[in-house]
């Protein structure tokens, strides 16, 4: 049955094969379930190696779940047509250095199956938006890390996505760049589009997210509104997000098991 | 994804490959190499000889016999008259034909092939690096289309360069000598098919390892293996002759040779087809006269169209296996 959610993870388990012959597996996710709703900005939080990027990859069909189901924009993740309505900012861009900013947007826009005239028109607008219009015809090889990140944001917006996935979007960005990302997220929310944000910049998460999921050791340990996450149950009132997360991470039930490797069944 | 969308994506992947080749200067290096040979052709001239072969004539390089008959042999001057040599051919047409065969076989088919593999081997591994491919694979275009598109991009790029080499040298020789041998141009499709078939193996290595070094060495070693398997198969037909009537090749070895021959690309057969199309046997010791080939051809064990078709089928199988593996790979 088609799902009404923008995206849904249903009891998702993901094992990565390890070792030379792949006889053992590293369990990255353990039965994670949650949904993304239209018009919300959803934060995905957790320490390093928690499984956040694996969830993003599952959402984008970059890998397949071992167990469970992933749906996006009402269709199973195996249906690639919905990817034309999604934008993705990768956590560590390495765009082909031989392309210029314009040719990169044209290329990625074409692979989003947008008509050429539309791609050309949008490429100019987006380069203006991210502040690279004056460097539009320079090879990416000459760009700084921040400029590549800005280009990554423009690339993700080339198809005017209904679901925007931002994996560490502020990495390498200056204050103006971060403000541009925040403004973009606010604009997406205003238009009823959804944003999935993975970030270690807690101020950013606090400022722009409506709801969040906290993943630790491949398990979902919190799901709810940001206000609930920050609520101090013992003293009442709210607490800083960093303190709230530290308490969650330090709970024995949330500790990652030592040695995730499990034998292949 | 429908067919028109796939064609649209492939067109952009081909365009991207040309951009990559230009930015990495491979495009210009290959053009420069072709340019050197085009200038070489513009620098030469032919003179002497007779208008048509005379009764009783033989060519110098055929069976290593000297020219007999009245009149002088055709002479070729190189580097704008700096050097002169006799090709050993009776007519100027044959002298030009001889030079074209040398360029098609020795230069393009061997040296050119190896350099092309070396220069293009990095295209696919770079394309498949996770930090680049993750964004591409999050697009609606299926992975198999992206991989096939990039492969076709490299093949189209090589086809362009091969066409420049053959077209340029053919045209230069034509305007300098007034002799236009259109058979020379058959080298374009034959060498492109030969490259496409061997390069499909590099696609598999790229998908498995994402390593340029592995692609270069794997591809060259595979090419040598295919030559061995191809020639080894034909050698079976010559073995009784060479062993003075005593065949020492057992049925299992014969089976292996047959299996290897039919399963793998056939670069030696492709070379034979090229040489045969250019009639190189008139001037040189052709591969068709080598032990094994001669007997295999005589016994009907080699068929040109089957060699080409089965070689192309190999590349299709390689692309299917590579695409299936890539589709299942976690990025």
The per-residue pLDDT for range B266-317, each reduced to its tens digit, is 999 999 999 988 888 777 667 888 878 888 888 888 899 999 999 999 999 9
Is the model more confident about A19 or about A208? A208
Do the domain assignments include residue B55?
no
Are B330 and A60 in contact, with CB atoms under 8 Å apart?
A: no
Tell me how far apart the alpha carbons of residues A59 and B63 are, in angstroms, rounded to a whole number. Answer: 70
Contacts 24+ apart (CB under 8 A), A244-251: A245/A45, A245/A202, A245/A214, A248/A214, A248/A216, A248/A221, A248/A222, A249/A47, A249/A216, A251/A221
The pLDDT value recorded for residue B288 is: 82
**Are B1 and A113 in contact (CB < 8 Å)?**
yes
* Burial of B225 per CB tally in 10 Å (0-12, 13-18, 19+): middle
CB B264 within 8 A of CB B228: no
Lowest mean pLDDT, pick from A96-100, A150-154, B171-175, B280-284: B280-284
Q: Which of A183-192, B40-49, B121-130, B321-330 has the lowest mean pLDDT?
A: B40-49
| The two structure tokens encoding residue B258 | 């047959």
Can you give the residue range of the structural domain that contains B207?
3-32+96-328
* pLDDT score of A258: 41
Interface predicted TM-score (ipTM): 0.87
Domains contained in chain B, number:
1
Q: What is the pLDDT of residue B285?
A: 67
* Separation CA A41–CA A43 (nearest Å): 7
Amino acid B236: pLDDT: 81
pLDDT for residue A59: 97
A9/B contact by beta carbon, under 8 A: no
Question: Cβ contacts of residue A72 below 8 Å, gap of 6+?
Answer: A6, A7, A8, A59, A82, A86, A163
The 10 Å CB-count burial string (b at 16+, else e) for B305-324 is eebbebbeebbeebbeebbe
Share of chain B above pLDDT 70, in %: 88
Total tally of structural domains belonging to chain A: 1
pLDDT above 90 for A175? yes
A96 touches B at CB < 8 Å:
yes
Residue of B25, B125, B138 to mutate for A, most A C-beta atoms under 10 A:
B138
Distance from CA of B138 to the nearest CA of A (A): 5
pLDDT tier for residue B245 given thresholds of 50, 70 and 90: low
- Pick the residue from chain B with its C-alpha nearest to A98: B23
Closest CB to B23 among A98, A110, A113: A98
Torsions phi, psi for A54 (to 5 deg): -60, -40
CB proximity list for B11: less than 8 A, separation 6 or greater: none
CA A212, CA A172: separation in Å to the nearest integer? 23
Determine, yes or no, domain membership for B68.
no
pLDDT score of A253:
65
Instruction: Mutate one of B2, B3, B140 to test the A interface: name it (highest A CB count within 10 A).
Output: B140
What are the beta bridge partners of residue A67? A13
Look at residue A201 and tell me if it is in a domain: yes
B137/A62 touch (CB, cutoff 8 Å), yes or no: yes
Task: Tell whether A84 lies on the interface with B, counting CB pairs under 8 A.
Answer: yes
Residue A157 lies in a domain: yes
Q: How far apart are CA A92 and CA A201, in angstroms?
A: 16
> φ and ψ at A216, to 5 degrees?
-135, 125
Domain assignment present for residue B74? The answer is no
In a domain, B230, yes or no: yes
Query: Domain range spanning residue A123?
Result: 7-263
Read off the pLDDT of each residue in B307-330 and give the average, rounded to a whole number: 96
pLDDT of residue B203: 97
Predicted confidence (pLDDT) at residue A13 exceeds the cutoff of 50 = yes
Q: How far is CA B268 from CA B228, B229, B302, in A?
A: 9, 9, 11
Mean pLDDT, chain A, integer? 90
Buried b (16+ CB within 10 A) or exposed e, B230-258: bbbbbbbbbbeeeeeeeeeeeeeeeeebe
Cα separation, A201 vs A241, in Å, equals 11
* pTM of the model as a whole: 0.89
Residue A208: inside a domain:
yes
Burial class (CB in 10 A: 0-12, 13-18, 19+), A16: middle
Distance CA B248, CA B245 (A): 9
A199, A241 contact by CB (below 8 A): no
For residue A153, give the CATH number of its domain: 3.40.50.300
Tokens of B130: 């996770």
pLDDT over 90 (residue A126): yes
Q: Nearest CA of chain B to the CA of A235: how many Å? A: 44
- Assess if residue A1 is contained within a domain: no
pLDDT band at residue B232, thresholds of 50, 70 and 90? confident
Q: How confident is the model at residue B246, as a pLDDT? A: 57
Give the distance from residue B112's alpha carbon to the nearest chain A alpha carbon, in angstroms. 25
Tens digit of each residue's pLDDT (9 = 90 or more) over B68-116: 555 567 778 888 878 887 766 767 888 888 889 889 998 999 999 999 9
Check residue A262 and give its pLDDT. Answer: 42
> Percent of chain A beyond pLDDT 90?
75
pLDDT of residue A260: 42
Cα distance between residue B230 and residue B224, in whole Å: 10
For residue B170, tell me if it sits in a domain.
yes
- Reply yes or no on whether the pLDDT at A58 is more than 90: yes
pLDDT for position B248 = 67
- Residues in A closer than 8 angstroms to B19, CB to CB, are 98-99, 103
| Residue A93 near residue B133 (C-beta atoms within 8 A) | no
Q: Which region holds residue B6: left if phi is over 0, alpha if psi is between -120 and 50, else beta?
A: alpha
pLDDT greater than 60 at residue A259? no
């Amino acid at each position: 049955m088609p799902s009404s959610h923008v995206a849904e993870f249903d009891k998702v388990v993901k094992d990565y094969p390890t070792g030379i012959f792949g006889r053992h597996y590293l369990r990255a996710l353990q039965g994670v379930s949650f949904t993304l709703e239209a018009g919300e900005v959803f934060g995905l939080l957790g320490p390093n190696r928690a499984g956040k990027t694996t969830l993003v990859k599952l959402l984008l069909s970059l890998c397949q779940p071992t167990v469970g189901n992933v749906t996006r924009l009402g269709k199973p993740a195996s249906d690639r047509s919905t990817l034309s309505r999604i934008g993705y900012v990768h956590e560590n861009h390495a765009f082909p250095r031989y392309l210029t900013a314009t040719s990169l947007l044209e290329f990625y826009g074409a692979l989003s199956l947008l008509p050429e005239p539309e791609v050309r028109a949008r490429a100019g607008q987006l380069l203006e938006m991210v502040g690279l219009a004056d460097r539009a015809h320079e090879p990416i090889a000459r760009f700084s890390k921040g400029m590549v990140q800005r280009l990554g944001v423009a690339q993700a917006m080339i198809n005017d996505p209904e679901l925007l996935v931002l994996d560490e979007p502020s990495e390498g960005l200056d204050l103006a760049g971060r403000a541009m990302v925040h403004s973009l997220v606010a604009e997406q929310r205003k238009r009823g589009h959804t944003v999935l944000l993975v970030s270690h910049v807690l101020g950013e998460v606090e400022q722009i997210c409506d709801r969040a999921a906290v993943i630790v050791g491949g398990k979902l340990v919190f799901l709810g509104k940001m206000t609930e996450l920050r609520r101090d149950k013992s003293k009442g009132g709210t607490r800083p997000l960093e303190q709230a997360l530290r308490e969650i991470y330090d709970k024995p039930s949330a500790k990652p098991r030592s040695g995730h490797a499990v034998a292949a069944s | 994804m429908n067919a028109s969308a796939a064609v649209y994506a492939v067109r952009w992947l081909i365009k991207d490959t040309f951009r990559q080749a230009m930015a990495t200067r491979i495009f210009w290096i290959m053009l420069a190499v072709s340019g050197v040979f085009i200038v070489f052709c513009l620098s030469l001239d032919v003179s002497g000889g007779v208008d048509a072969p005379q009764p009783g004539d033989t060519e110098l390089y055929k069976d290593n016999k000297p020219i007999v008959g009245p009149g002088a042999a055709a002479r070729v001057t190189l580097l704008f008259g700096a050097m002169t040599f006799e090709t050993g051919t009776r007519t100027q047409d044959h002298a030009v034909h001889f030079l074209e065969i040398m360029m098609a076989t020795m230069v393009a088919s061997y040296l050119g092939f190896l350099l092309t593999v070396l220069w293009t081997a990095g295209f696919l591994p770079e394309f498949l690096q996770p930090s680049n491919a993750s964004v591409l694979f999050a697009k609606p275009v299926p992975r198999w289309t992206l991989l096939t598109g990039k492969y076709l991009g490299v093949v189209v790029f090589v086809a362009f360069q091969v066409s420049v080499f053959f077209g340029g040298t053919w045209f230069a020789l034509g305007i300098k000598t007034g002799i236009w041998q259109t058979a020379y141009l058959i080298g374009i499709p034959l060498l492109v098919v030969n490259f496409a078939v061997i390069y499909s193996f590099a696609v598999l290595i790229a998908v498995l390892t994402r390593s340029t070094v592995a692609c270069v060495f794997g591809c060259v070693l595979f090419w040598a293996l295919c030559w061995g398997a191809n020639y080894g198969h034909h050698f079976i037909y010559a073995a009784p002759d060479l062993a003075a009537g005593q065949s020492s090749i057992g049925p299992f070895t014969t089976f292996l040779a047959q299996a290897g021959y039919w399963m793998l690309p056939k670069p030696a057969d492709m070379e034979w087809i090229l040489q045969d199309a250019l009639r190189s046997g008139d001037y040189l010791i052709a591969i068709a006269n080598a032990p094994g080939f001669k007997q295999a051809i005589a016994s009907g064990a080699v068929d040109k169209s089957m060699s080409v078709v089965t070689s192309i089928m190999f590349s299709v199988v390689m692309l299917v296996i590579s695409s299936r593996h890539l589709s299942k790979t976690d990025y």
